[in-house]
Protein backbone atom coordinates (compact mmCIF):
# COMPACT_ATOMS: atom_id res chain seq x y z
CA UNK A 1 0.00 0.00 0.00
CA UNK A 2 1.36 3.41 -0.95
CA UNK A 3 1.89 6.16 1.63
CA UNK A 4 -1.09 8.52 1.47
CA UNK A 5 -0.09 10.88 4.29
CA UNK A 6 0.69 14.49 3.41
CA UNK A 7 2.10 17.33 5.48
CA UNK A 8 0.31 20.61 4.73
CA UNK A 9 2.19 23.49 6.37
CA UNK A 10 3.15 21.37 9.36
CA UNK A 11 -0.28 19.76 9.75
CA UNK A 12 -0.24 15.99 9.17
CA UNK A 13 -3.17 14.74 7.10
CA UNK A 14 -3.62 10.95 6.90
CA UNK A 15 -4.47 11.32 3.20
CA UNK A 16 -4.65 14.23 0.72
CA UNK A 17 -8.46 14.47 0.52
CA UNK A 18 -10.56 17.19 2.13
CA UNK A 19 -13.97 18.75 1.54
CA UNK A 20 -14.78 21.88 -0.47
CA UNK A 21 -15.95 24.40 2.13
CA UNK A 22 -19.12 25.71 0.51
CA UNK A 23 -20.62 22.29 -0.08
CA UNK A 24 -20.06 20.51 3.22
CA UNK A 25 -21.89 22.44 5.94
CA UNK A 26 -20.47 21.24 9.26
CA UNK A 27 -20.50 17.63 8.11
CA UNK A 28 -23.51 16.31 10.03
CA UNK A 29 -25.49 15.22 6.95
CA UNK A 30 -22.50 13.49 5.37
CA UNK A 31 -21.55 11.74 8.62
CA UNK A 32 -24.67 9.62 8.10
CA UNK A 33 -23.04 8.18 4.97
CA UNK A 34 -19.38 7.76 5.92
CA UNK A 35 -16.97 8.12 8.83
CA UNK A 36 -15.44 11.61 8.64
CA UNK A 37 -12.24 10.12 10.12
CA UNK A 38 -11.64 8.61 6.67
CA UNK A 39 -10.65 12.05 5.33
CA UNK A 40 -7.32 13.83 5.67
CA UNK A 41 -9.17 16.99 6.67
CA UNK A 42 -12.67 18.43 6.76
CA UNK A 43 -13.09 22.00 5.52
CA UNK A 44 -16.24 23.54 6.97
CA UNK A 45 -18.79 26.00 5.60
CA UNK A 46 -17.67 29.61 5.89
CA UNK A 47 -17.87 31.20 9.34
CA UNK A 48 -18.20 34.88 10.14
CA UNK A 49 -17.89 36.76 13.43
CA UNK A 50 -21.67 37.35 13.45
CA UNK A 51 -24.44 35.13 11.99
CA UNK A 52 -25.35 35.67 8.31
CA UNK A 53 -28.68 34.82 6.65
CA UNK A 54 -27.22 34.57 3.15
CA UNK A 55 -29.00 35.61 -0.04
CA UNK A 56 -32.72 35.17 -0.86
CA UNK A 57 -33.86 32.12 -2.88
CA UNK A 58 -33.56 30.83 -5.52
CA UNK A 59 -29.88 30.49 -4.83
CA UNK A 60 -29.04 27.25 -6.62
CA UNK A 61 -29.41 26.52 -10.35
CA UNK A 62 -28.37 23.38 -12.19
CA UNK A 63 -26.20 23.85 -15.28
CA UNK A 64 -24.53 21.54 -17.77
CA UNK A 65 -21.99 19.55 -15.74
CA UNK A 66 -22.20 21.87 -12.76
CA UNK A 67 -24.21 24.07 -10.44
CA UNK A 68 -24.49 27.81 -9.93
CA UNK A 69 -24.87 28.94 -6.34
CA UNK A 70 -25.47 32.30 -4.72
CA UNK A 71 -25.80 31.15 -1.12
CA UNK A 72 -24.14 34.27 0.24
CA UNK A 73 -22.12 32.74 3.06
CA UNK A 74 -25.06 31.80 5.29
CA UNK A 75 -23.81 30.60 8.66
CA UNK A 76 -24.69 30.73 12.38
CA UNK A 77 -21.54 32.66 13.35
CA UNK A 78 -18.29 31.50 14.89
CA UNK A 79 -19.48 31.54 18.51
CA UNK A 80 -22.50 29.31 17.78
CA UNK A 81 -20.18 26.99 15.84
CA UNK A 82 -17.85 26.64 18.83
CA UNK A 83 -20.78 26.02 21.14
CA UNK A 84 -22.84 23.60 19.03
CA UNK A 85 -20.59 21.88 16.49
CA UNK A 86 -16.96 21.78 17.59
CA UNK A 87 -17.07 19.08 20.27
CA UNK A 88 -19.05 16.77 17.98
CA UNK A 89 -16.59 17.33 15.11
CA UNK A 90 -13.67 16.66 17.45
CA UNK A 91 -14.93 13.12 18.02
CA UNK A 92 -13.57 12.38 14.51
CA UNK A 93 -9.90 11.69 13.85
CA UNK A 94 -9.46 14.24 11.07
CA UNK A 95 -8.05 17.76 10.79
CA UNK A 96 -10.52 20.64 10.93
CA UNK A 97 -10.26 23.62 8.60
CA UNK A 98 -12.43 26.69 9.30
CA UNK A 99 -13.24 28.83 6.26
CA UNK A 100 -13.25 32.49 7.39
CA UNK A 101 -15.45 35.17 5.84
CA UNK A 102 -16.42 38.75 6.51
CA UNK A 103 -17.32 42.07 4.91
CA UNK A 104 -14.33 44.06 6.19
CA UNK A 105 -10.73 43.23 7.09
CA UNK A 106 -11.72 43.72 10.74
CA UNK A 107 -14.46 41.08 10.37
CA UNK A 108 -11.91 38.51 9.17
CA UNK A 109 -9.60 39.35 12.06
CA UNK A 110 -12.52 39.03 14.49
CA UNK A 111 -13.53 35.56 13.32
CA UNK A 112 -9.91 34.35 13.44
CA UNK A 113 -9.68 35.63 17.02
CA UNK A 114 -12.96 34.01 18.09
CA UNK A 115 -11.90 30.62 16.67
CA UNK A 116 -8.37 30.84 18.11
CA UNK A 117 -6.72 27.43 17.99
CA UNK A 118 -9.94 25.42 18.26
CA UNK A 119 -9.48 24.22 14.68
CA UNK A 120 -6.30 22.99 12.95
CA UNK A 121 -6.15 25.40 10.00
CA UNK A 122 -7.88 28.51 8.69
CA UNK A 123 -8.93 29.04 5.08
CA UNK A 124 -9.29 32.74 4.24
CA UNK A 125 -12.31 33.11 1.97
CA UNK A 126 -11.50 36.12 -0.18
CA UNK A 127 -13.04 34.53 -3.25
CA UNK A 128 -16.80 34.11 -2.72
CA UNK A 129 -18.50 35.79 -5.73
CA UNK A 130 -21.90 36.06 -4.00
CA UNK A 131 -21.46 38.97 -1.61
CA UNK A 132 -21.18 42.71 -2.22
CA UNK A 133 -18.51 43.29 0.43
CA UNK A 134 -15.56 41.05 1.29
CA UNK A 135 -15.24 37.77 -0.64
CA UNK A 136 -14.19 38.19 -4.26
CA UNK A 137 -14.02 41.99 -3.86
CA UNK A 138 -10.86 41.38 -1.78
CA UNK A 139 -9.58 38.41 -3.77
CA UNK A 140 -9.35 40.07 -7.17
CA UNK A 141 -6.80 42.72 -6.15
CA UNK A 142 -3.21 41.61 -5.48
CA UNK A 143 -2.70 44.58 -3.12
CA UNK A 144 -5.78 43.67 -1.05
CA UNK A 145 -4.83 39.98 -0.99
CA UNK A 146 -1.42 40.78 0.45
CA UNK A 147 -2.86 43.23 2.98
CA UNK A 148 -5.67 41.04 4.31
CA UNK A 149 -3.45 37.94 4.36
CA UNK A 150 -0.80 39.68 6.45
CA UNK A 151 -3.38 41.14 8.85
CA UNK A 152 -5.14 37.82 9.46
CA UNK A 153 -1.81 35.98 9.61
CA UNK A 154 -0.72 38.34 12.40
CA UNK A 155 -3.55 37.09 14.66
CA UNK A 156 -3.92 33.50 13.37
CA UNK A 157 -2.93 30.81 15.87
CA UNK A 158 -3.07 28.06 13.22
CA UNK A 159 -1.66 27.78 9.65
CA UNK A 160 -3.40 30.05 7.16
CA UNK A 161 -4.68 28.84 3.79
CA UNK A 162 -5.70 31.57 1.31
CA UNK A 163 -8.48 30.50 -1.09
CA UNK A 164 -8.11 32.21 -4.46
CA UNK A 165 -10.75 33.31 -6.94
CA UNK A 166 -10.49 32.21 -10.58
CA UNK A 167 -12.23 35.44 -11.63
CA UNK A 168 -8.93 37.21 -12.33
CA UNK A 169 -6.69 37.73 -15.33
CA UNK A 170 -3.44 36.60 -13.71
CA UNK A 171 -3.84 33.90 -11.04
CA UNK A 172 -0.06 33.67 -10.49
CA UNK A 173 0.06 37.33 -9.43
CA UNK A 174 -2.69 36.69 -6.85
CA UNK A 175 -0.86 33.62 -5.51
CA UNK A 176 2.39 35.56 -5.18
CA UNK A 177 0.52 38.30 -3.28
CA UNK A 178 -0.88 35.72 -0.84
CA UNK A 179 2.57 34.19 -0.31
CA UNK A 180 4.08 37.66 0.20
CA UNK A 181 1.39 38.37 2.83
CA UNK A 182 2.44 35.29 4.78
CA UNK A 183 0.01 32.61 3.56
CA UNK A 184 1.10 29.12 4.59
CA UNK A 185 -0.95 27.38 1.90
CA UNK A 186 -2.95 28.35 -1.19
CA UNK A 187 -6.23 26.71 -2.15
CA UNK A 188 -7.89 27.13 -5.53
CA UNK A 189 -10.21 27.50 -7.26
CA UNK A 190 -13.33 29.00 -5.74
CA UNK A 191 -16.26 29.27 -8.17
CA UNK A 192 -16.35 31.01 -11.56
CA UNK A 193 -18.90 33.83 -11.82
CA UNK A 194 -21.78 32.74 -14.07
CA UNK A 195 -25.41 33.36 -14.96
CA UNK A 196 -28.37 31.29 -16.17
CA UNK A 197 -31.48 32.84 -17.74
CA UNK A 198 -35.01 31.43 -17.75
CA UNK A 199 -36.00 32.04 -21.37
CA UNK A 200 -39.74 32.05 -20.54
CA UNK A 201 -39.55 34.80 -17.92
CA UNK A 202 -36.43 36.38 -19.44
CA UNK A 203 -35.05 36.67 -15.94
CA UNK A 204 -31.99 35.09 -14.36
CA UNK A 205 -32.86 31.96 -12.36
CA UNK A 206 -30.90 33.08 -9.32
CA UNK A 207 -32.47 35.82 -7.19
CA UNK A 208 -29.02 37.39 -7.02
CA UNK A 209 -28.86 37.21 -10.86
CA UNK A 210 -25.31 35.81 -10.89
CA UNK A 211 -23.64 33.05 -8.93
CA UNK A 212 -20.59 30.86 -8.68
CA UNK A 213 -20.18 27.92 -11.05
CA UNK A 214 -18.70 24.68 -9.68
CA UNK A 215 -18.58 21.05 -10.76
CA UNK A 216 -16.92 19.17 -13.64
CA UNK A 217 -17.52 22.10 -16.04
CA UNK A 218 -14.79 24.14 -14.30
CA UNK A 219 -12.17 21.39 -13.95
CA UNK A 220 -9.87 22.25 -16.89
CA UNK A 221 -9.73 25.89 -15.74
CA UNK A 222 -8.86 24.76 -12.23
CA UNK A 223 -6.13 22.35 -13.38
CA UNK A 224 -4.57 25.09 -15.52
CA UNK A 225 -4.61 27.55 -12.60
CA UNK A 226 -3.12 25.02 -10.15
CA UNK A 227 -0.29 24.47 -12.65
CA UNK A 228 0.30 28.23 -13.01
CA UNK A 229 0.26 28.77 -9.24
CA UNK A 230 2.69 25.86 -8.73
CA UNK A 231 5.15 27.68 -11.01
CA UNK A 232 4.68 30.94 -9.06
CA UNK A 233 4.94 29.98 -5.35
CA UNK A 234 6.69 27.44 -3.17
CA UNK A 235 4.06 26.95 -0.43
CA UNK A 236 1.69 23.93 -0.52
CA UNK A 237 -1.40 24.01 -2.73
CA UNK A 238 -4.84 22.47 -2.15
CA UNK A 239 -6.42 21.99 -5.58
CA UNK A 240 -10.14 21.88 -6.25
CA UNK A 241 -12.70 22.51 -8.97
CA UNK A 242 -14.85 19.73 -10.38
CA UNK A 243 -13.01 16.77 -8.85
CA UNK A 244 -15.32 13.75 -9.12
CA UNK A 245 -12.97 10.75 -9.41
CA UNK A 246 -9.56 9.59 -8.27
CA UNK A 247 -8.26 10.27 -11.79
CA UNK A 248 -9.40 13.89 -11.53
CA UNK A 249 -7.53 14.23 -8.23
CA UNK A 250 -4.37 12.75 -9.79
CA UNK A 251 -4.56 15.38 -12.56
CA UNK A 252 -4.57 18.15 -9.93
CA UNK A 253 -1.64 16.58 -8.09
CA UNK A 254 0.41 16.18 -11.27
CA UNK A 255 -0.29 19.87 -11.96
CA UNK A 256 1.13 20.74 -8.54
CA UNK A 257 -1.51 20.26 -5.81
CA UNK A 258 -0.26 18.69 -2.55
CA UNK A 259 -3.83 17.88 -1.55
CA UNK A 260 -7.28 18.07 -3.12
CA UNK A 261 -10.78 19.12 -2.10
CA UNK A 262 -13.96 17.50 -3.37
CA UNK A 263 -17.09 19.65 -3.23
CA UNK A 264 -19.92 19.59 -5.76
CA UNK A 265 -19.43 15.86 -6.49
CA UNK A 266 -20.58 15.13 -2.93
CA UNK A 267 -23.97 16.71 -3.66
CA UNK A 268 -24.50 14.10 -6.39
CA UNK A 269 -22.88 11.19 -4.54
CA UNK A 270 -22.30 11.44 -0.77
CA UNK A 271 -19.55 8.81 -1.05
CA UNK A 272 -17.57 10.92 -3.55
CA UNK A 273 -14.82 11.72 -1.03
CA UNK A 274 -14.22 8.06 -0.26
CA UNK A 275 -14.28 7.14 -3.97
CA UNK A 276 -11.72 9.86 -4.72
CA UNK A 277 -9.46 8.77 -1.86
CA UNK A 278 -9.66 5.13 -2.94
CA UNK A 279 -9.08 6.13 -6.57
CA UNK A 280 -5.86 7.99 -5.69
CA UNK A 281 -4.63 4.94 -3.75
CA UNK A 282 -5.46 2.62 -6.66
CA UNK A 283 -3.58 4.83 -9.15
CA UNK A 284 -0.50 4.77 -6.92
CA UNK A 285 -0.65 1.00 -6.44
CA UNK A 286 -1.37 0.29 -10.13
CA UNK A 287 1.63 2.42 -11.14
CA UNK A 288 4.04 1.15 -8.47
CA UNK A 289 4.31 4.57 -6.78
CA UNK A 290 5.21 4.23 -3.10
CA UNK A 291 4.31 7.71 -1.89
CA UNK A 292 1.54 10.10 -2.96
CA UNK A 293 3.89 13.05 -2.42
CA UNK A 294 6.11 11.75 -5.24
CA UNK A 295 3.60 12.68 -7.95
CA UNK A 296 3.08 16.31 -6.94
CA UNK A 297 3.99 18.70 -9.75
CA UNK A 298 5.43 15.98 -11.98
CA UNK A 299 3.45 16.86 -15.14
CA UNK A 300 5.77 16.91 -18.15
CA UNK A 301 4.75 19.87 -20.29
CA UNK A 302 4.91 19.44 -24.04
CA UNK A 303 7.79 21.30 -25.66
CA UNK A 304 9.91 21.19 -22.49
- Please report how close the Cβ of residue 105 comes to ligand SIN at its closest, in angstroms: 17
In the annotation, is 43 catalytic? no
Asked if residues 34 and 274 have their Cβ atoms less than 8 Å apart, the reply is yes
Positions 35 through 54 that interact with ligand SIN (CB under 6 A): 46
Stretch of 111-119, 123-131, 233-241, 244-252 contacting ligand SIN, by CB under 6 A: 123-131
Task: State the Cα–Cα distance between residues 248 and 260, nearest whole angstrom.
Answer: 10
- Please report how close the Cβ of residue 69 comes to ligand SIN at its closest, in angstroms: 6
Instruction: Kindly state whether residue 190 participates in binding ligand SIN, applying the rule CB under 6 A.
Output: yes
Q: How far apart are the first and last CA of the chain?
A: 32
- Pick the closer one to ligand SIN by CB: 139 or 181: 139
> If residue 188 lies in a helix (H) or strand (E), which one and from where to where?
strand 185-188
Out of 18, 19, 125, 140, name the contact with ligand SIN by CB under 6 A. Answer: 125
Instruction: Kindly state whether residue 215 participates in binding ligand SIN, applying the rule CB under 6 A.
Output: no
- Which of 30, 102, 71, 26 is closest to 274 using CA atoms? 30
* Alpha-carbon 131 to chain mean position: 17
Positions 66 through 85 that interact with ligand SIN (CB under 6 A): 69, 71-73
Out of 19, 48, 94, 130, name the contact with ligand SIN by CB under 6 A. Answer: 130
- Please report how close the Cβ of residue 19 comes to ligand SIN at its closest, in angstroms: 13
- Please report how close the Cβ of residue 300 comes to ligand SIN at its closest, in angstroms: 33
> If residue 17 lies in a helix (H) or strand (E), which one and from where to where?
strand 17-19
240, 22, 126, 63 alpha-carbon torsion, rounded to 10°? 70
- Which of 148, 209, 187 is closest to 22 using CA atoms? 187
Task: State the Cα–Cα distance between residues 268 and 252, nearest whole angstrom.
Answer: 21
Phi-psi region of 20 (alpha: psi -120 to 50; beta: other; left: phi over 0): beta
Q: Which of 42, 128, 238, 259 is catalytic?
A: 128
Asked if residues 31 and 37 have their Cβ atoms less than 8 Å apart, the reply is no
Instruction: Kindly state whether residue 266 participates in binding ligand SIN, applying the rule CB under 6 A.
Output: no
- Pick the closer one to ligand SIN by CB: 125 or 140: 125
Out of 20, 22, 256, 266, name the contact with ligand SIN by CB under 6 A. Answer: 22
- Which of 10, 244, 260, 238 is closest to 124 using CA atoms? 238
Out of 8, 109, 119, 128, name the contact with ligand SIN by CB under 6 A. Answer: 128
User: Contact residues for ligand SIN (CB under 6 A)?
Assistant: 22, 46, 69, 71-73, 125, 128, 130, 190-191, 212
Give the residue numbers marked as catalytic: 128
Amino acid sequence: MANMAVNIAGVEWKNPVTTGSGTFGFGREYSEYFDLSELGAVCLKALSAVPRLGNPSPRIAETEKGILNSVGLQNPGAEAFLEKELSWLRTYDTKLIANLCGSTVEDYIAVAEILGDNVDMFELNISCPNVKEGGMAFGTSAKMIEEITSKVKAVAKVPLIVKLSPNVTDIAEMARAAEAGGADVISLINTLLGMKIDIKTRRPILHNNMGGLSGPAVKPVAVRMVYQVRQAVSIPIIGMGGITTGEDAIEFMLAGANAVAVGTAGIVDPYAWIRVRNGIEKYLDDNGIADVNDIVGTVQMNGK
